[in-house]
Amino acid sequence: MNLVFTNRFVHDLPGDPDLTNERRQVSGACYSFVAPTPVSSPQLLGFSPEAAALLDLTEEDCRSEAFLQVFSGNTVLPGMQPFAMRYGGHQFGSWAGQLGDGRAINLGEVINRQGQRWTLQLKGAGPTPYSRSADGLAVLRSSLREFLCSEAMYHLGIPTTRALSLIATGEQVLRDMFYDGHPRLEPGAIVCRLAPSFVRFGNFEIHTAHGETSLLQKLLDHTLAAGFPELSEKQERDRYLRWFGDVCRRTAELMVHWMRVGFVHGVMNTDNMSVLGLTIDYGPYGWLEAYDPLWTPNTTDAQGRRYCYGNQPRIALWNLVQLANAIYPLIGSAEALQETLGEYQRTFQTTWQQTLAAKFGLPSAKEEDFRLMERMLDLMRLHEIDMTIFFRRLAGVTGDDDDNQRFCSLFADALYHSIPASEQTALDDWLGAYRRRLNSYRLAPLQRRHQMNRTNPKYVFRNYLAQLAIEQVEQGNTALLTELLDVLRHPYDDQPDRSHLAARRPEWARNRAGCSMLSCSS
């Protein structure tokens, strides 16, 4: 394995002079050096060939003993400078103080043959100075969910941190999954993640909270130089503000993507928001099945529903306000920040309207079309209609359809409940109105179907599929894990022999842990 390390984060920014691996409050530094904790008997459960290619690694490399030892944290390669980042964050709306990488360890930044740079990070590789009261480890179930979902998101075309490998450590980890006083031992695992940068909103917040303005500026200068060269080179006076505008736009685009595919992150704390607009931290996330704006997969959030599906765009804005507060000392003008925040709303609104129209296969964004679309979303919520299946099936409906199929037979696969006859009329009426709209637009059906199927995936990482794969892997069988990794590579393709993996959630999964509600315990 020939990896070339550049490690700009470490070179550009001050580290913690204390080199001991003891839990502490760190000040005056952006990170602390810390090595991964060796594990007893690592076993490779999966790897992503596409992520490996970003590091110029072949499949053979990924199956090698050296790979296993490096990405389980047992071997530190020459050139690696492992460290944990210092960051803070607002959790569930309140400032939580120092958090930091409590179980993620950055191995270093690699430059590939194309000159692209990727930071390698192990999640679950042992305690760090930021571990607080926890153990620095991760369990197999949460690591498998992170591994598969990261790559699924990438193939859906959604900005995300990537996952290179999933390795069982051979160690047991104690977790009280339901927080009910019944901890049990579970198999441990480590995911190696890749991203151009893992900097979060919370990396900036911690410096401002501690009055470390010169560090704040160093971190922002590094972020600009590393990820936004066009802003950094000219040293323009408004470059920090322009960068913030860019973060606003990227975040808005990310929210549109999540809303488009029905992804619910579950813990949108500011320490889980990437300044590159990447999806980061696959914890108690979930995929919307029956359409419901209030749905949240996170048991910890079941009461307040702060992070439910429909709230995500609003929470992203709230989080951006926290980032604006954090960089205020470098900007000095609340009006300028406020004005720039408008970029978020503008981008979200325009992009979401276009995306919604594309989901319904309607070419324009006329007022009456939006009323029609909103009406369907309302009906979907009322009648528990599977969002993913609905939109795929809708692509087959045409304006001049003379088969006049009724809604409930056409969309039977998407229904979680049978709908009483008295309530079917509203759905049939909607379908009639929709067909008339299509008719009036005279769209070529094949082209429209093709475009809709590029916007509406057939395969998403349904919660119950994740649970089935976890149960299998815990029994030593990686077949479903491998199959899911493969099918999720082409989420927009029909793949008819894989259709069972696009089916709606079976009844047994309705209230089963891991299938509908997820605990934060990971």
Ligand X SMILES: Nc1ncnc2c1ncn2[C@@H]1O[C@H](COP(=O)(O)OP(=O)(O)OP(=O)(O)O)[C@@H](O)[C@H]1O
Nearer to ligand X, 312 or 351 (CB): 312
- Give the list of residues 6+ apart from residue 285 with CB closer than 8 angstroms, or none: 145, 149, 263, 264, 265, 266, 297, 518
Amino acid at 176: D
Q: Is 81 in the site for Mg ion (CB under 5 A)?
A: no
Q: Which of 136, 262, 313, 514 binds ligand X (CB under 6 A)?
A: 136
**Smallest distance from Mg ion to CB 124, Å:** 12
Please check whether residue 28 is in contact with residue 139, taking contact to mean a CB–CB distance below 8 angstroms. no
CB atoms closer than 10 angstroms to residue 107: 26
Q: Give the three-state DSSP class for 94.
A: strand
Q: Is 343 in the site for ligand X (CB under 6 A)?
A: no
386 binds, among ligand X, Mg ion, none (CB under 5 to 8 A by kind): none
3-state helix, strand, coil in the chain (%, to 5): 45, 15, 40
Q: Which of 34, 52, 105, 137 binds ligand X (CB under 6 A)?
A: 137
Nearer to Mg ion, 91 or 353 (CB): 91
Strand order, beta sheet including 43-47: 31-33, 83-85, 104-111, 117-123, 184-195, 162-175, 43-47
Residue with tokens 């929709």: 434
Query: Pattern of binders to ligand X over 257-296, x per CB under 6 A?
Result: ----------x---xx--------x-x-------------
Q: Is 183 in the site for ligand X (CB under 6 A)?
A: no
Restricted to residues 94-123, the positions that interact with ligand X (CB under 6 A) are 99-104, 123
Rounded CA-CA distance 267/300 in Å is: 9
Question: Is 281 one of the annotated binding-site residues?
Answer: yes
Tokens of 461: 């990482």
Q: Give the three-state DSSP class for 74.
A: coil
Question: Is 181 one of the annotated binding-site residues?
Answer: no
Q: Is 36 in the site for ligand X (CB under 6 A)?
A: no
Catalytic residue among 16, 101, 246, 271: 271
Question: Is 135 one of the annotated binding-site residues?
Answer: yes
CB atoms closer than 10 angstroms to residue 23: 16
List strand residue ranges (DSSP E) for 48-161, in order.
83-85, 88-91, 94-98, 104-111, 117-123
Nearer to ligand X, 283 or 297 (CB): 283
- Give the list of residues 6+ apart from residue 155 with CB closer than 8 angstroms, or none: 488, 489, 490, 491
Nearer to ligand X, 34 or 484 (CB): 34
Query: Pattern of binders to Mg ion over 87-126, x per CB under 5 A?
Result: ----------------------------------------
Q: Which of 21, 270, 272, 351 binds Mg ion (CB under 5 A)?
A: 272
Restricted to residues 276-295, the positions that interact with Mg ion (CB under 5 A) are 281
Nearer to ligand X, 29 or 410 (CB): 29
Question: Is 136 one of the annotated binding-site residues?
Answer: yes
Nearer to Mg ion, 281 or 301 (CB): 281
Which of 433, 460, 425 lies closest to 360 in space, CA to CA? 433
Which region among 15-23, 252-260, 273-281, 493-501 touches Mg ion (by CB under 5 A)? Answer: 273-281
271 included as an active-site residue: yes
Element (H, E) at 389: helix 387-394
Residue with tokens 């198999």: 187
Binding positions for ligand X, rule: CB under 6 A: 99-104, 123, 130-131, 134-137, 267, 271-272, 281, 283, 522
Among all residues, which ones are annotated catalytic? Answer: 271
Binding positions for Mg ion, rule: CB under 5 A: 272, 281
